[in-house]
Chain A
């Protein structure tokens, strides 16, 4: 793999990965900005328009025709969040030219489409209405997946009053308030002020891609800044509990913890041992030993110094499950970590890191993580750091983990 990184302008990074084993090309443009409840939905709707049409391909029908003619090329956009930061992406993926049956230059055509989408979006009233409806439908559909809803709700409690409490697309109310003018203005502001990161993965190095973006961005009067993603969340003075009842068959819980440790590698391993694999303490005890659940897992949000455990459980077993989760955390705090547990956590991470480069997306997500963490290392270098973590460091990190808040989704029938 041939990796290159260049600066195309003020806070505009371009990273390319040439890897001959791929038969596809993947281009992803990240627009990074602060998460703000006043602008979150404007940005989400505006960004959604960019993957729908552009000033040259002005209808959905025409865009779809072009993409399917290009062997089913994909154009996609989404709004996401990390820490207190919102980021919007526009991405495209397509088949490498060597697989074009009729000898078309798919790459050239896709670069033209994507740059037109990015630099010359069409804020047409009809397209705007459709994009806004898609965002509203997306917000409504968040409740369809009960596990995701539980996690989202728990996160909003844990980060109440902080930008991170917002969803990536905002609320129904904020999305309802978006107008075609506010979306257009938001997009203009985004292109002028956002930190931009462009990632391109292809079988062969192609210098015209970076030049294309350099030239197009040079036409924009930018006044941007680089964003820091790390924004630790304060621990609540006393743990907060919120419960909601719904007509569901299974209750769910999500427990938020906050930690006060700068030893991120140790905390990372703590989370894997606690609830990151099928041999973790939560899996082996809450599921396998006590048969309380089908899933009980732990995730870490290193940008907010927080850890969340979530579990689907019988309503009558909630207290039992919560007690066992806390007991297993205490086990780690008390140093009860076996050599096998540490070793299997390290091997699981090594396995995951070593598959880096097997898909175009893995290159992009790794280097975007590096940007977010402001820590530019390869997966192999990071593994070396993780292998240097001792049990003592994990215990020290775990000792700073404290209960912050709990969200319970309760089923009505069980009463």
Chain B
């Protein structure tokens, strides 16, 4: 028996529907009258970090090669009789998929035939077809994808930083793995991972736009095969609170040197959005473009308009990262650390804090108006154990004391890692 709940944004009055489907799947639906398009994501809580796992019936944990979640994502696009792209091509929908650190999502966007597209999506993700031939074929394609991302300085600067930040947590490993690690993948391993993680009890469907919730649920009733919850357990190696090393430099053929400086923070176990939003407010306060620190670094030519901050967080990892282009990244790091000390000594200016909160509120409200953005918000929020409108409601409630507490507890100088990609 399925259960249903209407979720409402207290501030704007927007709503969406959450359904716990009888098959085990969590479903989030938002009807958006007046919009033409539909965007749907069917995702599993299975990403590059989930390399060690077991089911309740297993005695031992299974360890799999790095990059296998991403490899599996590629291979699900092949059915026994034809490719999935061909199925969507017949309806005109655009389809794609992505693998992140902690999830894999299959998606389509369309303006017509959404019911047919939803059937295709739900069907192909539940129907794996892996053979030696089609696995071998994919090695070359993914090998080129790995090489492409290794030439991407933004990618390199992030992973270099993560390797210096995390001793053991698999977030430091490239999502696609390496050419060597993917060479160990075969059809049997793919089936093992599929059977473990592509259980509907571990999955979420998020769909928004020009749809009818009743139609969506009727298709789910028709297409979803009930799954028994097999008691999936994923584990991560113990991760010390300290960092591995404070600085890393790599020379690359780039035109502009780039950096990321990250604070390793304690991973979040509950109230994920609250911590993420508190951290976002604190980061915005520190890097505010009206602050003395920002203006001084800008006028001295140490940063440019690419400077900014973001939160990078997931299962077992949480970091606050400042990034941008700079030929003197050490000066940026020192300035940010000094600014943190100044804030701790002088406190937070309530007037500035209130302005930053207003800006953050505005950015969340804007996203409610976008089919693609909102479908993504629903699945990300749900997989993080939160509700989609939480950001709009939470931001109004956060105080400067919350931000100050985050800065005091988490932004400590012994947890800073500076990663730089320099011109050759």
Contact = CB atoms under 8 A, between A and B. Distances in A.
Interface of A: 19-24, 60-62, 64-65, 67-73, 94-95, 99, 101, 126, 130, 133-134, 137, 139-147, 246-250, 277-279, 283, 287-288, 291-295, 312-314, 340, 343-344, 346-348, 350-352, 354-359
Contact of B111 (A64, A140, A313, A351): A351
A294 B289 contact: no
Contact of B424 (A19, A247, A346): A247
Interface string B305-322: 110000000000000000
A61 B34 CA distance: 39
Interface stretch (B45-53, B87-95, B401-409): B87-95
A69 B362 CA distance: 10
Contacts of A137: 256, 304, 306, 325
A294 B141 contact: yes
Given A143-B253, A347-B89, A64 B289 contact: yes
B332 to A, nearest CB: 14
A61 B359 CA distance: 15
Interface residues of B, number: 68
B352 to A, nearest CB: 8
Nearest to B153: A144
Contacts of B369: 21-24
Interface stretch (B231-239, B294-302, B334-342): B294-302
Contact of B34 (A21, A99, A143): A21
Interface in B79-123: 83, 85-86, 89-95, 109-112
A249 B253 CA distance: 11
Interface of B: 12, 32-37, 83, 85-86, 89-95, 109-112, 137-142, 144-145, 147-148, 150-154, 252-256, 258, 288-290, 295, 298-299, 301, 304-306, 325, 355-356, 358-363, 365-366, 368-371, 424
A143 B148 contact: no
A355 B109 contact: yes
B256 A355 contact: no
A64 B20 CA distance: 44
B290 A64 contact: yes
A108 to B, nearest CB: 16
A244 to B, nearest CB: 10
Nearest to A277: B89
Given A60-B298, A64-B289, A145-B152, A348 B144 contact: no
A356 B359 CA distance: 28
B299 A130 contact: yes
A24 B144 CA distance: 41
Contact of A21 (B33, B138, B356): B33
A73 B255 contact: no
B111 A354 contact: yes
A35 B147 CA distance: 36
A343 B86 CA distance: 11
Contact of A291 (B93, B110, B137, B358): B137
Contacts of B147: 249-250, 312, 314
Contacts of B34: 19-21
A314 B147 CA distance: 9
A99 B92 contact: no
Contact of B365 (A60, A73, A95, A295): A95
28 contacts: A23-B366, A61-B295, A62-B290, A64-B289, A65-B290, A68-B290, A68-B355, A71-B362, A72-B361, A99-B12, A134-B305, A137-B256, A137-B304, A142-B255, A143-B254, A144-B254, A248-B253, A250-B150, A278-B89, A279-B83, A287-B141, A292-B140, A294-B148, A314-B147, A346-B92, A347-B92, A348-B94, A357-B36
Contacts of A20: 34
A343 to B, nearest CB: 8
Contact of B370 (A141, A291, A359): A359
B298 A144 contact: no
Given A60-B289, A130-B299, A313-B144, A358 B92 contact: no
Contacts of A24: 366, 369
A291 B110 CA distance: 28
B151 A23 contact: no
B259 to A, nearest CB: 13
Contacts of B365: 23, 71, 95, 99
Nearest to B255: A143
Contacts of B148: 147, 250, 294-295, 312
Q: Which 4 A-B pairs have the closest CB atoms?
A: A347-B92, A71-B362, A72-B359, A291-B140
A137 B255 CA distance: 8
A348 B111 CA distance: 10
A293 B255 CA distance: 25
Given A144-B258, A247-B252, A358 B37 contact: yes
A355 B37 contact: yes
Given A24-B366, A145-B152, A250 B144 contact: yes
Given A68-B356, A250-B151, A358-B36, A95 B141 contact: no
A314 B144 contact: yes
Nearest to B140: A291
B400 to A, nearest CB: 15
Nearest to A279: B89
Given A72-B362, A137-B304, A65 B37 contact: no
A130 B325 contact: no
Given A24-B369, A130-B299, A355-B109, A61 B358 contact: no
Contacts of B253: 143, 246-248
Nearest to B12: A99
Contacts of B144: 250, 292-294, 312-314
A279 to B, nearest CB: 4
Given A68-B359, A71-B359, A126-B299, 8 more contacts: A24-B366, A60-B290, A65-B290, A95-B362, A247-B424, A248-B151, A294-B148, A354-B112
B151 A146 contact: yes
A144 B358 contact: no
B92 A351 contact: yes
Nearest to A62: B290
